[in-house]
Amino acid sequence: MDAFSLVLLLSVSFLSAIMGTMVGMAMLVLLPVMIFLGIPVHTAVATGRFSMVGINLGNIGKFSRRQKIEMKYVLPFAIAGVFGSLVGALFMVRIDENTLKKFIGVFMIIVSLFVLLEGFLKRAAKNKRISHKHHILSVLAGFFIGSYIGIIGGGGATIVIFLLILIYGLSFHDAVANQKAITLPISIIATLIFMYQGLIDYRLGIPLFIVNLLGGWVGAGLIMKFKPVWLKRFLVPVSILLALKLIFF
């Protein structure tokens, strides 16, 4: 990769880490940009997932200091997600490049629609008394999302946020904070599988990891001060356009 493309990719990664912390769409921006810059699809998924660990670490450092993470919401979802991630990451390498590219595009559109439906989801969810039923739903959702993150990953964090709102009735900000603790172990397991499979390009992955760590830290501070409505209005159409390019061009 030439110097200009590398600087462009790192800049996009830093900004997407900030925006992804606030609305959960970092991989939806980073992944298609990596593919458009000529990085093979499987390598882009694996290297992007490796770099996402940086965002999670930057987020958790900030959110844990503010005591926003509650393990009663995190553990059922995260444990099931780890097993799902193991299955998904092992399966990802079996999908051919063109099919995987189209899958990524389709799920980018689906996740973008989730974001558009956020207002409806918030109205449907109410703070509720937590029971075993909610934890069972959390386990089922965790396995599904873990598998998805292991295979594609783009927008998985966004779906986790909305599922936490629907299942447990959390506020958007609390759901964002707890989502970081859920997706961190899922991302780590997927990354370990990709490392074992030799899919990660560390020449790109390590710089991306570092800028995502910084972006995640900055984004976690900003979300406490600003409502990310304007980000969604920008990211949703951009994500849909990138998805259409992946599917049809």
Kindly report the three-state secondary structure assignment for every residue of 68-105.
CCCHHHHHHHHHHHHHHHHHHHHHHCCCCHHHHHHHHH
Model confidence pLDDT, tens digit, residues 45-65:
999 999 988 887 877 766 666
pLDDT of residue 150: 83
Is 90 exceeded by the pLDDT of residue 164? no
Model confidence pLDDT, tens digit, residues 170-189:
877 778 778 878 888 888 99
pLDDT of residue 46: 92
pLDDT of residue 135: 81
Phi, psi of 36 (to 5 degrees): -65, -25
pLDDT of residue 62: 64
pLDDT of residue 44: 92
Report the distance separating Cα 49 and Cα 43, nearest Å: 10
CB 25 within 8 A of CB 19: yes
Q: Report which residue type is found at 25.
A: M
Model confidence pLDDT, tens digit, residues 90-105:
888 888 888 888 888 8
CB 211 within 8 A of CB 10: yes
Is 60 exceeded by the pLDDT of residue 128? no
Q: Report the SS3 class of residue 200.
A: coil
Is 60 exceeded by the pLDDT of residue 28? yes
Percent of the chain whose predicted confidence (pLDDT) is above 90: 25
> Phi/psi class of residue 154: alpha, beta or left (left: φ > 0; alpha: ψ in -120 to 50)?
beta
Joined tokens for residue 123 = 């109205």
